[in-house]
């Protein structure tokens, strides 16, 4: 069946011509009527159809918020006022057979019977961004059905001299398939930002040096680790449907990846520093997979690997940073030169997919390469020293390498069809080809290199590794620097284990009492999170946080229990100094799949 026919059948199945279409809401225009110090907003909940995938995509039935007398929107209308304003909201439930439960607006949940209206009023007493949402089943936010899953919106209360910002609401719609049907009906779902899925999400443009403030509202049933390419952003504040608080200065850390939990809000700021095209996206690969489009690429279809509109979907924003125009970094004689070869791991078959891996060598080295490994060999670089890494593709499929957490030129960032500047666009690395990435790492820390093409399959089958940057004059010491790459051992969610450094049963690690160790954790599972505990006698021991995403805090943190909840795309560094000999365990637990991987650790006296 062609993609066009698939789309036609799907659109016909979701046809709901008697109701209006919900338009995408970019959250730029506040709803309601402002009169002196009072804002009045009249909302309705209506039946609607919705198209997250462009004008030619299928229409699917949802319930949606609307301003009275206007088209329904997804997400719901932006409600915004200055602190001190009194806000009056009326909500009419136009659904003839559904009772509505309304949440947010600094009120207890409010029940609205079919075809009735309820009114509420509250003072905009303190600044912040909050979630409002509704359900027709009385369910919590993370249990809403597909048709009611888009009943979410943002409430913003501005303080004095509030800087300009943009508001983004995350959404998720899903219906289960029927594998026993003839033919089998697949699961269908879509993840959206302000009502649209990539490549139909908004394109953002900024200039070098300006201050950008974003505010994120998670109206979905899932946690999303949001990752910025080529830049760091600063956490400013966190909230939910009732509370919001600016973070103290000591907690406003720079990060490259930050989670936003279901039902919560997040404020962040950043300054564009490098021109070109960049991405901001969720690092859970299910949430950016083209396969989960309403109109997916079907098996055997030849989608353009160089086309970023086809090899990504869902929770992705495209950012273009303008002027000054800079072309690619030229080769330099004093750069360190490495060769990273991509190939198949011999004898590894993962449910029909070959096991993939990397091998690392000096460019001028002679002789046969060793075995390909997953994770790939650690790449160790020095802060401030330029490097050229020739990536050679020995696979039968195209690939790419993204230098996750590294601030570099857009062309070398590793996103085929998107990265670059002007006429120079990052290509896929096709079979038999080599691409040379050039950059100078500006900060020391723990980073990741991994594929950014056909992400879920290539990453699940082995294309990832640790990227370590040390300060000048220092060296990476494997005896004291312990790297834990946390990954998945294949593409089968129900059967494949979680891995620590490529193994589901890691061998024992030996440490010395009194020695100070740096534990580097790299989260590169496709999905979801892992709970890490370093324990002795069944209880967490203690460690000291020293870095997140390669960025070190301004102040030295105190010792804390050795527990970590790590999501895809995050890295953490901890200092661990065992005081006495004994037996320890590093436990990686995945609560959703109920999978556990344990590394035994023996601490002995020097």
Q: In what order do the strands lie in the sheet with 224-228?
A: 203-207, 316-322, 276-282, 224-228, 257-260
The single residue listed with the structure tokens 């790419």 is 400
Query: What's the chain's average pLDDT?
Result: 90
pLDDT band at 36 (very low <50, low <70, confident <90, very high): confident
Sorted by sequence, the CB contacts under 8 Å of residue 328 that are 6+ apart come out as 409, 411, 412, 424, 438
pTM of the model: 0.93
Give CA–CA dist 446/269, Å, rounded: 22
Q: In the CATH hierarchy, which fold is given to the domain comprising 481-604? A: Immunoglobulin-like (2.60.40)
Lowest mean pLDDT among 27-36, 87-96, 182-191, 282-291: 182-191
Q: Say if residue 297's pLDDT is above 60.
A: no
Give the count of alpha carbons within 13 A of 497, CB side only: 12
**Given this model, what pLDDT does residue 301 score?**
43
- The domain segmentation of the chain, as residue ranges, is 3-322, 336-470, 481-604
**Given this model, what pLDDT does residue 479 score?**
96
- % of the chain exceeding 90 in pLDDT: 77
pLDDT band at 333 (very low <50, low <70, confident <90, very high): low
Give CA–CA dist 262/76, Å, rounded: 17
CB of 441 closer than 8 Å to CB of 456: no
Give CA–CA dist 463/63, Å, rounded: 41
CB of 350 closer than 8 Å to CB of 491: yes
Q: Say if residue 492's pLDDT is above 90.
A: no
CB of 110 closer than 8 Å to CB of 186: no
- Segment 256-264 shows an average pLDDT of 97
Q: Over the stretch 366-395, which tens digit does the pLDDT of each residue have? A: 556 788 999 999 999 999 999 999 999 999
| CATH code assigned to 336-470 | 2.60.40.420
pLDDT band at 10 (very low <50, low <70, confident <90, very high): very low
Q: In the CATH hierarchy, which fold is given to the domain comprising 3-322? A: Immunoglobulin-like (2.60.40)
CB of 526 closer than 8 Å to CB of 454: no
Q: Report the chain's C-alpha Rg in angstroms.
A: 25
- Segment 69-88 shows an average pLDDT of 97
Give CA–CA dist 65/48, Å, rounded: 9
**Given this model, what pLDDT does residue 14 score?**
43
- Segment 576-592 shows an average pLDDT of 94
Q: Over the stretch 217-251, which tens digit does the pLDDT of each residue have? A: 999 999 999 999 999 999 999 999 999 999 998 88
At 514 the three-state DSSP class reads coil
Same fold, 3-322 and 336-470: yes
Q: Over the stretch 434-479, which tens digit does the pLDDT of each residue have? A: 999 999 999 999 999 999 999 999 999 999 999 999 999 999 999 9
The single residue listed with the structure tokens 């750069």 is 335
Q: E-strand spans in 53-187?
A: 60-67, 72-74, 79-82, 86-93, 100-104, 107-112, 117-123, 128-135, 152-158, 166-175
Q: Say if residue 79's pLDDT is above 90.
A: yes
Give CA–CA dist 511/604, Å, rounded: 6
């Amino acid at each position: 069946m062609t993609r066009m026919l698939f789309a036609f059948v799907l659109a016909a199945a979701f046809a709901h011509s008697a109701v209006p279409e919900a338009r995408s809401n970019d959250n730029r225009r506040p709803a309601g009527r402002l009169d002196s110090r009072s804002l009045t907003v009249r909302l309705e909940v209506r039946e609607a159809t919705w198209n997250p995938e462009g004008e030619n995509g299928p229409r699917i039935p949802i319930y949606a918020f609307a301003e009275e007398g206007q088209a329904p929107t997804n997400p719901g209308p932006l409600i915004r006022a200055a602190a001190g304003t009194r806000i009056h909201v009326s909500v009419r439930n136009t659904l003839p057979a559904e009772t509505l439960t309304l949440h947010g607006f600094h009120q207890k949940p409010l029940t609205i019977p079919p075809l009735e209206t309820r009114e509420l009023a509250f003072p905009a007493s303190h600044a912040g961004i909050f979630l409002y949402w509704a359900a027709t089943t009385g369910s919590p936010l993370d249990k809403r059905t597909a048709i009611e899953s888009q009943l979410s919106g943002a409430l913003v209360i501005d303080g004095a001299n509030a800087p300009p910002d943009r508001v983004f609401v995350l959404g998720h719609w899903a219906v289960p398939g029927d594998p026993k049907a003839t033919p089998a009906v697949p699961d269908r779902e879509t993840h959206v930002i302000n009502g649209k899925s990539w490549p139909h999400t908004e394109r953002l443009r900024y200039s070098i040096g300006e201050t950008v403030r974003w505010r994120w509202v998670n109206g979905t049933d899932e946690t999303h680790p949001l990752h910025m390419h080529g830049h760091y952003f600063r956490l400013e504040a966190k909230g939910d449907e009732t509370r919001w608080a600016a973070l103290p200065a000591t907690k406003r850390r720079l990060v490259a990846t930050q989670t936003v939990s279901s039902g919560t809000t997040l404020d962040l700021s950043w300054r564009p520093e490098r021109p070109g095209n960049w991405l901001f996206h969720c690092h859970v690969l299910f949430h950016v997979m083209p396969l989960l489009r309403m109109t997916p690429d079907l098996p055997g279809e030849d989608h353009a690997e160089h086309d970023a509109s086809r090899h990504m979907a869902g929770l992705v924003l495209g950012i273009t940073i303008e002027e000054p125009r800079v072309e690619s970094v030229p080769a330099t004689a004093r750069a360190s030169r490495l060769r990273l070869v991509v190939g198949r791991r011999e004898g590894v078959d993962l449910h029909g997919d070959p096991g993939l891996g990397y091998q690392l060598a000096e460019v001028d080295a002679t002789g046969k390469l060793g075995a390909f490994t997953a994770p790939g060999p650690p790449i160790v670089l020095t802060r401030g020293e330029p490097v050229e890494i020739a990536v050679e593709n020995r696979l039968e499929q195209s690939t790419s390498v993204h230098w996750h957490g590294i601030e570099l030129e857009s062309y070398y960032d590793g996103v085929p069809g998107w990265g670059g500047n002007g006429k120079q666009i990052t290509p896929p690395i096709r079979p038999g080809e080599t691409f040379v990435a050039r950059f100078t790492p500006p900060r020391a820390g723990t980073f990741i290199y991994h594929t950014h093409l056909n992400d879920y399959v290539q990453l699940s089958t082995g294309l990832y590794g640790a990227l370590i940057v040390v300060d000048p004059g220092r060296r990476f010491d494997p005896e004291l620097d312990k790297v834990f790459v946390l990954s998945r051992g294949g593409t089968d969610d129900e059967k494949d284990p979680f891995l620590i450094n490529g193994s589901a049963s890691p061998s024992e690690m030996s440490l010395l009492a009194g020695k100070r160790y740096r534990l580097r954790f790299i989260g590169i599972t496709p999905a979801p999170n892992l709970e890490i505990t370093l324990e002795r006698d069944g209880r967490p021991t203690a460690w000291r946080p020293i870095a997140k995403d390669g960025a070190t805090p301004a102040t030295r943190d105190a010792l804390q229990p050795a527990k970590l909840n790590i999501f895809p795309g995050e890295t953490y560094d901890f200092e661990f100094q065992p005081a006495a000999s004994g037996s320890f365990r590093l436990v990686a637990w995945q609560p959703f799949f109920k999978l556990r991987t344990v590394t035994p650790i023996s601490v002995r006296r020097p």
